[in-house]
Amino acid sequence: MTIAPPDFLRLAGHRLRWELLTLLADGDRPVRELTALAGQPQNLVSYHLAQLRSGGLVRSRRSSADGRDTFYALDLHRCGELLTGTGAALHAGLRLTPPAPPVPPQGTRVLFLCTGNSARSQLAEAMARAGGLDAFSAGSHPKPLHPNTSRIMRERGLDPSGHEPKSLDVFRAEPFDLVVTLCDKVREVCPEFEGGPPPVHWSIPDPAIDGSDAAFAACAEELAVRTGFLLARLAA
């Protein structure tokens, strides 16, 4: 009897697809960047991205800064599910167990940036602080905190007090271990922060544009997943 290997092995086992997954593990990227980093023709990169997307390992989202660009993001949660199933498919004793809650090094400083600093970056800051990071947030064009931002924080057991919009200029001279841009527009104008690594990008729609409870709930859920994986990365 022939038994087909699990989908994760089929998808991730290809050398170029594995390289693309590894590049996307660092943050969301457009095809042109993936093409340059992989050193492969764009049509080949696009083909393998389509394979990864159809397999549920990668998501795509049109850029809100330049509609000609599409950002690709690694679905880490889905990858974790497929990896668990892959081990169990070979032997019951290889089923992965959930890791212990990550504990990042004390004093790790992370800055979250978006355009308005009214929703996405504020939520990310609150979640990262709850996870033990020295987290901050700012915007390129700060706007008043959206009422749904405070509501979502309270619903998730986070403290909204002290969350005020700030300009990214406030932090230009400060050192950070990591800078995360949450907005395609602010990614284009993000300044260099001395001594730190290049910014990581998470392409997340602004829930304040829609303003609905559903938009904020979806944003908060995506940020919770991404922040959880960020904590694990920094803890490692």
On average, the pLDDT of the chain sits at: 92
Most confident of 39-53, 161-175, 182-196: 39-53
**Taking a C-beta distance cutoff of 8 angstroms, is the pair 123, 149 a contact?**
yes
Is the pLDDT score of 194 beyond 80?
no
The C-alpha atoms of residue 157 and residue 159 are separated, in whole angstroms, by 7
Q: At what angle do helices 15-25 and 31-38 cross, to 10 degrees?
A: 120
Percentage of the chain with pLDDT > 70?
A: 99
Neighbours of 97 (CB within 10 A): 6
The end-to-end CA distance of the chain, in Å, is: 41
pLDDT of residue 214: 95
Is the pLDDT score of 91 beyond 90?
no
Quick one: tokens of 103?
């504990």
Give the domain ranges of the chain.
7-94, 109-235
Quick one: tokens of 236?
């490692």
- Taking only the tens place, the pLDDT of each residue in 25-72 is 999 999 999 999 999 999 999 999 999 999 999 999 999 988 889 999
**Which residues carry out catalysis?**
114, 183, 190
CA 40 to chain centre: 25
| CATH of 7-94 among 3.40.250.10, 3.30.460.10, 1.10.10.10, 1.10.3720.10 | 1.10.10.10
109-235 topology per CATH:
Rossmann fold (3.40.50)
The C-alpha atoms of residue 225 and residue 46 are separated, in whole angstroms, by 26
Q: Parallel, antiparallel, or unpaired for β 29-30 and 58-62?
A: unpaired
Quick one: tokens of 228?
């959880």
At 1, is the pLDDT very low, low, confident or very high (cuts 50, 70, 90)?
Answer: low
Q: How many helices (H) and strands (E) does the chain have?
A: 10, 7
